Amino acid sequence: MNYNNYPYSIFNQSSLLNYGQQNNSSLQQHQAEQQKNILEMRKAIRDYCEAARKVSPEYQQMAIDQCLQEIVIQASKI
């Protein structure tokens, strides 16, 4: 009987090490993607605040209404 074939190969130490390294690599990639997403969210908030400061007082209510409308639209997509 050949024990180098599946399902016996799952107990091969080098196979287990390779699986662990691949799993670790995937986790690191996922963490990097999530950190990038968080930075994009932070930048979007900063951009929003900078744009809000530029709105003239007579247009602030219109800006708030439109921003709230967009929040409702985005919330409905979740």
Q: Alpha helix locations (H) across 1-78?
A: 13-54, 60-76
pTM of the model: 0.62
Give residue-wise pLDDT tens across range 16-66.
Answer: 677 777 777 888 999 999 999 999 999 999 999 999 999 999 999 999 999
Residue 74 has pLDDT above 70, yes or no: yes
Q: Residue 43 corresponds to which amino acid?
A: K
Instruction: Note the Cα 71 to chain centre separation in Å.
Output: 19
What does the alpha-carbon distance between residue 6 and residue 17 come to, in Å, rounded to a whole number? 16
